[in-house]
Amino acid sequence: MYKQLIFQIRFKGMLMLYFVYVLNFATFVSFFCSELIF
């Protein structure tokens, strides 16, 4: 039970980190593309 709770928290943390990473990457790519176009 206790190990399952720790695993769940760790899994949610990894999901949040991945989401933030993808969001930052998308922002960087859109900024880079706009710099190339204009």
pLDDT for the residue 37: 73
Between CA 34 and CA 38 the distance in angstroms is 6
Dump pLDDT digits (tens) for 1-38: 789 999 999 999 999 999 999 999 999 999 988 888 76
pLDDT at residue 33, as a whole number = 86
CA angle 8, 9, 13 (to 5 degrees): 115
What pTM was computed for the model?
A: 0.58
* DSSP structural state of residue 37: H
**If you search the block for the tokens 């998308």, which residue do you land on?**
26
- Strands (E) in the chain, as ranges, are none
pLDDT at residue 38, rounded to an integer:
64
In terms of C-beta density within 10 A (0-12 exposed, 13-18 middle, 19 or more buried), how is residue 11 classed? Answer: exposed
Residue 26 has what pLDDT?
94
Query: According to the model, what pLDDT value does residue 30 have?
Result: 92
